[in-house]
Amino acid sequence: MKLVSLSDSKGQIRVEFAGCNMKCPYCVHIHQPKKEWSVEDILEYAGKSTTEDVYLGGAEPTLQKDLMPLIEGLNDLGKKTILKSNGMKPDVLEAALPYVHGFVLEIKAPKDDIEGIMELTGMSEKRTRKYSDLLDKSLKIAKKRWLRIWIRVIPEYVNTETISHILPDLEGASEVMLYQFMSNPDFDLPFMGHNEATPSWREMKDLGKTVLTKVPQVRLVGERGKMVLSK
Ligand code: SF4
């Protein structure tokens, strides 16, 4: 399996995978150096730890061909696994469903904004239209477990006007995380001329209040740290 990192801290084992089927122009993860780890090595690492929670993230974990043996092995070890995905592989989420505690899925923009999603993901129009259907399927599957939907707030695509087109897809999620773009320059490359945290924290809070009408909890993450809004 191709990994960028494997760590165990702050109550979570984090397995960060390399490689993605999107080419988002602001993504740092797809450029990070990778190293080969076997499923057995990762399971041995996890098995030696008393940490129960495991996060499978990075770029796109569902592309790893040995993902299922890893997920099943973690389940056998009694770990609580959260699987992150961009939603392009609903078949993998379906297979993982019996063995994971929950999912983290990203929504990039309103699904009717085909042009916007193309700019955000570097995908062709044909692939973007396919992605919309795949994301729908993935959301349906992921809502059967604990689900965090995370939205990278890039103001040209996600703002107080366009958020109403995303709201219907949020219903049924456990929480939504709104991430202020460029709030951590280590995570984002400059995009659309943005090279510092944007939009304003005030707009983040307004978006958070709107999203809270659809889900029990909203997390705001940005240059001001973290804020949790609950019903
Ligand atoms: S979907 Fe996520 S991991 Fe993949 S290229 Fe885009 S930002 Fe990076």
CB of 117 shorter than 6 A to ligand 1: no
**For ligand 1, is residue 30 a contact (CB within 6 Å)?**
yes
The H or E element that residue 136 is part of is helix 125-142
According to DSSP H, which parts of 171-220 are helical? 201-211
Please give the pLDDT value at position 95: 98
Q: What CATH class is the domain 1-144?
A: alpha beta
Cβ(154) to ligand 1 under 6 A? no
Name the β-bridge partners of 6.
15
Residue 42's closest CA among 21, 10, 63, 67?
67
Atom of ligand 1 nearest to the CA of 59: 3
Give me ligand 1 centre to Cα 122, in Å. Answer: 10
Are 120 and 156 within 8 A, CB to CB?
A: no
- In degrees and rounded to multiples of 5, residue 146 shows phi and psi of -60, 135
Q: Which ligand 1 atom is at minimum distance from the Cα of 152?
A: 7
pLDDT at position 31, please?
82
Per-residue pLDDT of the chain (231 residues; tens, 9 = 90+): 999 999 999 999 999 999 999 999 999 988 888 999 999 999 999 999 999 999 999 999 999 999 999 999 999 999 999 999 999 999 999 999 999 999 999 999 999 999 999 999 999 999 999 999 999 999 999 999 999 999 999 999 999 999 999 999 999 999 999 999 999 878 899 999 999 999 999 999 999 999 999 999 999 999 889 999 998
**Entry pTM:** 0.96
Q: How far is the CA of 187 from the centre of ligand 1 (A)?
A: 11
Contact (CB, 8 A) for 30 and 2: no
Amino acid at position 216, single letter: P
Mutation probe of ligand 1 site: the residue of 30, 64, 179, 191 with most atoms within 8 A of C-beta: 30
pLDDT at site 231: 85
Distance 208 CA to ligand 1 centre (A): 23
pLDDT of residue 212: 98
Written as six digits, the tokens of 199 are: 């939009």
Q: In what order do the strands lie in the sheet with 175-180?
A: 35-36, 2-9, 12-17, 53-58, 80-85, 102-106, 146-153, 175-180, 217-222, 225-230
**CATH 3.20.20.70 in the chain, residue ranges:** 1-144
Mutate to test the pocket of ligand 1, among 85, 86, 184 (most ligand atoms within 8 A of CB): 86
Token pair belonging to 9: 């801290």
Q: Whose C-alpha lies nearest to ligand 1, atom 7?
A: 27
Q: In which residue are the tokens 């997390």 written?
A: 219
> Is the CB of 29 inside a 6 Å radius of any atom of ligand 1?
yes
pLDDT for position 166: 97
The alpha carbon torsion through 12, 16, 21, 26 (nearest 10 deg) reads 90
